[in-house]
Amino acid sequence: MCGIVGYVGSQQPSGRPLEVVLEGLRRLEYRGYDSAGVALVSPGASLATAKKAGKLANLVEEIDTHPMPAATAAIGHTRWATHGAPNDVNAHPHVSGGVAVIHNGIVENFATLKAELEAAGVAFTSETDTEVVAHLVARAYAQTPDLTQALRTVAQRLHGTFTLLAVHGDDPTTVVGARHDSPLVVGLGDGENFLGSDVSAFIASTRDALELGQDQVVTITPTEVTVTDFDGTPVEARRFTVDWDAAAAEKGGFRSFMDKEIHDQPQAVADTLLGRTDTTGRLVLDELRIDEAVLRAVDKIVVVACGTAAYAGHVAKYAIEHWCRIPVEVELAHEFRYRDPVVDERTLVVAVSQSGETMDTLMAVRHAKEQGATTLAIVNTHGSTIPRESDAALYTHAGPEIAVASTKAFLSQITAAYLLGLYLAQLRGNKYADEIGQVLDELRAIPDKIQQVLDRAGRVREIARWMADTQSVLFLGRHVGYPVAMEGALKLKELAYIHAEGFAAGELKHGPIALIEPGQPVFVVVPSPRGRDSLHSKIVSNIQEIRARGARTLVIAEEGDETVRPYADEVFTVPQTSTLLAPLLAVVPLQIFACELATAKGLDVDQPRNLAKSVTVE
- The residues assigned a catalytic role are 2, 613
309 binds ligand F6R (CB under 6 A): yes
Closest distance between ligand F6R and the C-beta of residue 353, in Å? 3
Which residue from 138, 230, 237, 242 is spatially nearest to 198, judged by alpha carbons?
242
175 binds ligand F6R (CB under 6 A): no
| Residues found in the chain | 618
Which residue from 328, 504, 305 is spatially nearest to 425, judged by alpha carbons?
328
Closest distance between ligand F6R and the C-beta of residue 458, in Å? 24
Which range touches ligand F6R (CB under 6 A), out of 79-87, 96-104, 301-309, 390-398?
A: 301-309
Q: Which is nearer to ligand F6R, 440 or 489 (CB)?
A: 489
354 binds ligand F6R (CB under 6 A): yes
Closest distance between ligand F6R and the C-beta of residue 481, in Å? 19
Q: Which is nearer to ligand F6R, 76 or 608 (CB)?
A: 608
- Burial of 301 (C-beta count, 10 Å sphere; 0-12/13-18/19+): buried
Q: Which is nearer to ligand F6R, 149 or 354 (CB)?
A: 354
Which residue from 113, 236, 102, 117 is spatially nearest to 176, judged by alpha carbons?
102
Q: For ligand F6R, which residue of 96, 358, 396, 553 counts as binding (CB under 6 A)?
A: 358
CA distance 7 to 19: 10
Burial of 239-262, coded b for 16+ CB within 10 Å and e otherwise, reads eeebebebebbeeeeeebbbbbbb
* C-alpha torsion 606→418→384→103, nearest 10: 40
The sign of the CA dihedral 416, 420, 426, 427 is: positive
CA distance 95 to 113: 17
355 binds ligand F6R (CB under 6 A): yes
HSE-CB at 191 with a 13 A cutoff on CA atoms is 5
Which range touches ligand F6R (CB under 6 A), out of 193-201, 305-313, 443-451, 545-553?
A: 305-313
Beta bridge mates, 330:
303
330 binds ligand F6R (CB under 6 A): no
Question: Which helix (H) or strand (E) element contains residue 504?
Answer: strand 499-504
Closest distance between ligand F6R and the C-beta of residue 390, in Å? 13
Closest distance between ligand F6R and the C-beta of residue 614, in Å? 6
CA distance 229 to 219: 11
498 binds ligand F6R (CB under 6 A): no
Cα 612 from chain centre = 9
Number of residues that bind ligand F6R (CB under 6 A): 15
308 binds ligand F6R (CB under 6 A): yes
Q: Strand runs (DSSP E) across 59-215, as ranges? A: 73-79, 94-96, 99-107, 160-168, 171-180, 185-188, 193-196, 208-211
CA distance 456 to 557: 14
The residue type of 154 is V
Q: For ligand F6R, which residue of 40, 324, 393, 615 counts as binding (CB under 6 A)?
A: 615
The residue type of 614 is S
Which residue from 473, 496, 476 is spatially nearest to 484, judged by alpha carbons?
476
412 binds ligand F6R (CB under 6 A): no
Closest distance between ligand F6R and the C-beta of residue 309, in Å? 4
Q: Which is nearer to ligand F6R, 35 or 308 (CB)?
A: 308
Q: Which is nearer to ligand F6R, 276 or 491 (CB)?
A: 491
Q: Which of residues 359-398 bind ligand F6R (CB under 6 A)?
A: 361
Closest distance between ligand F6R and the C-beta of residue 410, in Å? 7
User: Cα 83–90–361 angle (5° rounding)?
Assistant: 40
- Burial of 468 (C-beta count, 10 Å sphere; 0-12/13-18/19+): middle
Which range touches ligand F6R (CB under 6 A), out of 122-130, 210-218, 347-355, 596-604?
A: 347-355
Closest distance between ligand F6R and the C-beta of residue 354, in Å? 3
Q: For ligand F6R, which residue of 165, 167, 285, 306 counts as binding (CB under 6 A)?
A: 306
Q: Which is nearer to ligand F6R, 304 or 557 (CB)?
A: 304
Q: Which is nearer to ligand F6R, 1 or 539 (CB)?
A: 1
607 binds ligand F6R (CB under 6 A): no
Please give the residue ranges that form the binding site for ligand F6R (CB under 6 A).
306-309, 353-355, 358, 361, 405-406, 490, 494, 614-615
